[in-house]
Amino acid sequence: MRWVEMLVSGLFAFELTGSAFAVSLVLMSRALPMLTAGALSGAVAESLDRKKLLMAGQATTAAGAIIIAMLAATGGLALWHLFLNGMLGGLVWTNELATRRRMVAEAAGPHRIVQAVAFDTMTGSTTRMVGPLVGGVFYQTVGVAAAYGIAALLYVCALLLVAGVEHRQERRILMPRRLVSDVMQAVRIALAHPSLRLVLGVTVAMNVFGFSYTAVLPAFGAIAFEANPAEIGLLAAAEPFGALLAGLALALRRGAPPGRMAIAIGSAGFLVVLALAALAPGLWQAAALLMLGGIGTAAFASLQTGLVMMEAPIEARSRILGLTTTCIGMGPVGVLVVGALADGFGPRAAIAGMAVAGLAALAAVLSVTRR
């Protein structure tokens, strides 16, 4: 439902304003809490009950979706409503990255961390694939109010599912005055470890220069291919479909886990394919290339968490996952840039230019990591 919301809100913003930059502003709101609260969320997740944190998040997103559905049904929905709801969803997402993935890895055990995280990534890729497809169909058929109403219903279902999970954890005493020092300690640990430095650097490069293309995808499909909402949903589902297949291969893989260079190679491959997809002559060619790029994003997403869970000290894992969330939160910078470039030079040039800049950033990260 997160991905349904993102596509529906992006389509609504583009229809209302005709501006790719306006779309990027609405979608950017979901990443802002990651930047501002990501590191602290990791420290909090080491002290509070992670299951209860997940339940609170599902309840919050359900309430936000209900409010948006009511505003849309009464004709009072405005862009700022979607922006605020996006920030609320982003806050919940920030908490989820530091809690759910650690719970998955802990349940799997130390010898199956990469496979477990790959399975989690695979389910995430499935929802990223189905969500835009469903969102495009919803927007074209039942409208914004019904789409958010369905989202609220499924958030409640997720809340009930989480309530049935058995989870135990060792918790630290929450001391608010020590949160900042705990985060700084995690920063020192991460910067001292080459693999953790690599994870943080690649995460920044991918979220600023790579994944920001989704912010202008509605405008890209409409302008470059004259696509309708359902076809834009298909275009948005292409990369997650490729990631789903690659994630399944990683989840079923046996033997030693991939090395740390796999995250860099997968990320570089995705950025190359993204640049080619931006220049594709037709919608189907662009979708096929994005699907191929999903192989790289699956490797990135699995090892982004897997390397932290394997190589970070146990007592600091949630905090370093929180730092990773902060790096993901750098995405709004890329969203604003790609939105402005799309308005000035067109979505094709904006996406291709950001992908090339991402490759340069990735090269710089690898250079620093080797030292």
- Ordered by start, the domain boundaries in the chain are 2-166+177-370
Tell me the fold of 2-166+177-370.
Answer: Growth Hormone; Chain: A; (1.20.1250)
Q: Tokens representing 25? A: 């502003």
Apex 173 CA angle, 168 and 174, nearest 5: 105
What is residue 315's predicted lDDT score, i.e. its pLDDT?
76
CB burial of residue 46 (10 Å; 0-12, 13-18, 19+): buried
- Compute the distance between CA of residue 190 and CA of residue 257 in angstroms, rounded to an integer: 20
The SS3 of residue 85 is helix
Banded model confidence at residue 172, pLDDT cuts 50, 70, 90: low
Q: Tokens representing 73? A: 């049904």
What is residue 371's predicted lDDT score, i.e. its pLDDT?
60
Give 200-258 as a DSSP string.
HHHHHHIIIIIGGGGGGHHHHHHHHH---HHHHHHHHHHHHHHHHHHHHHHHH--SSPP
Give 246-307 as a DSSP string.
HHHHHHH--SSPP-THHHHHHHHHHHHHHHHHHT-SSHHHHHHHHHHHHHHHHHHHHHHHHH
Closest CA to 328 of 97, 100, 132: 97
Lowest mean pLDDT among 36-50, 183-197, 223-237: 36-50
- Compute the distance between CA of residue 343 and CA of residue 164 in angstroms, rounded to an integer: 47
Whether pLDDT at 61 is above 70: yes
Listed in sequence order, the residues at least 6 apart from 367 whose beta carbon sits closer than 8 Å to its beta carbon are none
What is residue 11's predicted lDDT score, i.e. its pLDDT?
81
pTM: 0.73
Q: Tokens representing 94? A: 């920030």
Cβ atoms within 10 Å of 203's Cβ, excluding its own: 24
Distances (CA, A) of 75 to 69, 70, 72, 230: 10, 9, 5, 23
Whether pLDDT at 163 is above 80: yes
- Rg of the Cα trace of the chain? 19
Torsion of CA 119, 121, 326, 189, to 10 degrees: 40
The tens digit of pLDDT for each residue in 94-131 reads 888 778 877 887 787 777 777 787 788 778 778 877 77
- The residue length of the chain stands at 371
The tens digit of pLDDT for each residue in 122-160 reads 787 788 777 777 777 777 787 888 888 888 999 999 999
What is residue 350's predicted lDDT score, i.e. its pLDDT?
92
The tens digit of pLDDT for each residue in 256-309 reads 667 778 888 999 999 999 999 999 998 899 999 999 998 898 888 888 888 888
Higher pLDDT, 140 or 221: 221
